[in-house]
Amino acid sequence: MRRRVSGWPTAWCCAGSVGSTSRRCPIRVHRSGFPHTLRPETLQALNDRVAELAKQAKVTTGRKLRLDATCVQTTIHHPTDSGLLVDSVRVLSRLVKRAKPLVAEQLQNVGSACRSRLRSARQAAQRLHRLLRRKSEEKIEQQKAHYRKLIETAEQMVRQTERVVHVLEQQTETASKQLHEQAERVVPLIKRVIAQTRSRVLEGKKVASLLSLLQLMTLVGLIIYLPLFLQGVLGESATYSGAVITPLTISSVVGASVAGALVATFKRYQLVTIIGGIVSAIGVFLLAQMTISTSLLQAAIFMVIAGLGLGVFFSVLTLAAQNTLPRTSLGVGTGAIRFLGQLGAVLGVAIVGSIVNSTVATDIVKRLPPQTVQRLTPAGVKLATNPQVLVNSTYHDTVVKTAQSFAVRAATANIPPGPLHDQVAAQAIHQTITLLNQVFAALKESLAVAIQHGFIAVFIFSVATVVVALFLNDIPLSTTPADVASQGDSEGLQVFF
């Protein structure tokens, strides 16, 4: 049975049986070597028969199952480009070796077509690993040379496999069909590994993930703190402050439409992205110059400029990512763009919010007169210097009424009710209002400075966006399905962090 199923010589089968008997352990047949040859019920009957014969020969009693195992603790390594290439060559070498007897008569130069290149791939990978341990300036160029050799070996192995598969496709034997199905399943994956390695290591392809991160950091930083500036510094209502940022949103839509038209016309997107980054940086710089005396018209003009530049990224980033990636990785690339965009929104709010809050806390101390601080309790100073008094009318009225009640009680504690009591109470209320107005004015100036500092951080994000856009790969847009297919076979994926 072993000779017929496994294709072993008779001498090997006898040696295996003797060796199994000497180890006093019956042979257990499993399906790993021939999954489609024996049925489960046949295997079960065969194993029962082997155990029965072993029991009759007094090799084992058959009452206990002996298991030998070794557990070794090791570190799980993430797959590397070189490791994936070596594994690809190994798989294809095994496949052509198994197919060699089937295609020997129909394939010319069967020796070269079924040649294993695993040794060459391993040697290239070993040289690459030894190089990575060195510290030299020429390390990068040498690394690329070794990767290029490894890629060439994998590509040669793919070409050999395709020749073998072409012959297997014409055969009708079961073994040929099985090998053909395995090759059709494996070869596209290996081509993807080769394209990914070439793109990442040799060509340095990058997608627009970092641009998406920076763009959302800029956009959300403006959207969150522009209404706060309009409401807290310029004194507009909450509803009107939300409506005033409409120019920013409308201009971003216009910028996206214009950018899409330009990209569709010139089939390029890097220059459009750079121009959009510069325009947005100019708009953010102008917004960072706003003060208490800035008018709403000026703020609206600044928002329009920033919105035109930011809108460019809405249409370009996803297009750049999808134009760079193969068709099989479009979902991954688009998901990376969206994920890093959301991450940028969170980081933008956190960074700008930290700057604004810390600036308000430190600047308000410098602006409050010492006598004003002395006339208020620590709790009163904390409540009166909360930026909510500038944007929340309910909170503002609560602070004012609480301070007035405390001042009246303190001023009229020893005065009986009467005209004098009312006069002292009125003076206390007036002094309290004057005192709080000084605190609120200082708080408004501090908030304006704090938001300016926050917009300076947003301006830095915008400048970083322009710098990153300079390194964006300007790949011509694909216009036909054939272009998309050929580009998908040659381009790879690298998320640029």
CATH of residue 376: 1.20.1250.20
Q: What is the mean pLDDT of residues 7-29?
A: 44
211 and 140 housed in the same domain: no
- pLDDT-derived band at 21, boundaries 50, 70, 90: very low
383 and 496 housed in the same domain: yes
Q: Give domain status of residue 239, yes or no.
A: yes
Q: How far is CA 129 from CA 17, 81, 123, in A?
A: 43, 12, 10
Q: What is the mean pLDDT of residues 81-93?
A: 89
Of residues 133 and 100, the one with the higher pLDDT is 100
52 and 158 housed in the same domain: no
Please check whether residue 456 is in contact with residue 221, taking contact to mean a CB–CB distance below 8 angstroms: no
212 and 196 housed in the same domain: no
Please check whether residue 437 is in contact with residue 223, taking contact to mean a CB–CB distance below 8 angstroms: no
Q: Point out the domain boundary residue: 174, 203, 232.
A: 203
Q: Give domain status of residue 339, yes or no.
A: yes
Q: What is the mean pLDDT of residues 106-132?
A: 85
Q: Give domain status of residue 372, yes or no.
A: yes
Min mean pLDDT across 124-138, 213-227, 274-288, 398-412 is at 124-138
pLDDT for 460: 94
pLDDT at 75 > cutoff 70: no
Min mean pLDDT across 103-117, 132-146, 196-210, 293-307 is at 196-210
State the Cα–Cα distance between residues 471 and 444, nearest whole angstrom: 41
pLDDT for 77: 63
pLDDT for 245: 84
299 and 437 housed in the same domain: yes
Q: Point out the domain boundary residue: 171, 187, 203.
A: 203
State the Cα–Cα distance between residues 444 and 422, nearest whole angstrom: 32
41 and 98 housed in the same domain: no
Task: State phi, psi for 237 to the nearest 5 degrees.
Answer: -75, 165
pLDDT at 459 > cutoff 90: yes
Mind listing the pLDDT tens digit for each residue in 444-458?
889 999 999 999 999
Please check whether residue 322 is in contact with residue 333, taking contact to mean a CB–CB distance below 8 angstroms: yes
Q: Give domain status of residue 64, yes or no.
A: no
pLDDT for 15: 40
Q: What is the mean pLDDT of residues 332-346?
A: 84
pLDDT for 399: 86
**How many domains is the chain built from?**
3
pLDDT at 326 > cutoff 90: no
- Structure token digits, residue 443: 């708080």
Of residues 199 and 382, the one with the higher pLDDT is 382
Of residues 211 and 485, the one with the higher pLDDT is 211
Q: What is the SS3 string spanning the chain?
A: CHHHHHCCCHHHHHHHHHHHHHCCCCCCCCCCCCCCCCCHHHHHHHHHHHHHHHHHCCCCCCCCCCCCCCCCCCCCCCCCHHHHHHHHHHHHHHHHHHHHHHHCCCCCCHHHHCCCCHHHHHHHHHHHHHHHCCCCCCHHHHHHHHHHHHHHHHHHHHHHHHHHHHHHCCCCCHHHHHHHHHHHHHHHHHHHHHHHHHHHHHHCCCCCHHHHHHHHHHHHHHHHHHHHHHHHCCCCCHHHHHHHCHHHHHHHHHHHHHHHHHHHHHCCCHHHHHHHHHHHHHHHHHHHCCCCCCCHHHHHHHHHHHHHHHHHHHHHHHHHHHHHCCHHHHHHHHHHHHHHHHHHHHHHHHHHHHHHHHHHHHHHHHHCCHHHHHHCCHHHHHHHCCCHHHHCHHHHHHHHHHHHHHHHHHHCCCCCCCHHHHHHHHHHHHHHHHHHHHHHHHHHHHHHHHHHHHHHHHHHHHHHHHHHHHCCCCCCCCCCHHHHHHHHHHCCCCCCC
Mind listing the pLDDT tens digit for each residue in 233-274?
888 888 888 888 888 889 999 999 998 888 888 888 888 889
pLDDT for 435: 86
Q: Give domain status of residue 295, yes or no.
A: yes
pLDDT for 488: 39
pLDDT for 133: 73
- pLDDT-derived band at 336, boundaries 50, 70, 90: confident
- pTM given for the model: 0.60
Please check whether residue 209 is in contact with residue 334, taking contact to mean a CB–CB distance below 8 angstroms: no
346 and 434 housed in the same domain: yes
**AA identity, residue 58:** K
- pLDDT-derived band at 10, boundaries 50, 70, 90: very low
195 and 216 housed in the same domain: no
Q: Give domain status of residue 62, yes or no.
A: no
Q: What is the mean pLDDT of residues 491-495?
A: 34
The residue segments making up the domain with residue 107 are 81-203
Min mean pLDDT across 76-80, 318-322, 420-424 is at 76-80
Q: What is the mean pLDDT of residues 477-492?
A: 42
Q: What is the mean pLDDT of residues 312-331?
A: 75
Q: Give domain status of residue 73, yes or no.
A: no
Largest CA distance in the chain: 125
Please check whether residue 475 is in contact with residue 263, taking contact to mean a CB–CB distance below 8 angstroms: no
pLDDT for 13: 47
296 and 444 housed in the same domain: yes
- pLDDT-derived band at 25, boundaries 50, 70, 90: very low
246 and 379 housed in the same domain: yes
Mind listing the pLDDT tens digit for each residue in 396-414?
888 888 888 888 888 887 7
Q: Point out the domain boundary residue: 203, 233, 265.
A: 203
129 and 214 housed in the same domain: no
52 and 92 housed in the same domain: no
Q: Give domain status of residue 173, yes or no.
A: yes
pLDDT at 291 > cutoff 80: yes
Q: What is the mean pLDDT of residues 415-440?
A: 84
Q: What is the average pLDDT score of the chain?
A: 79
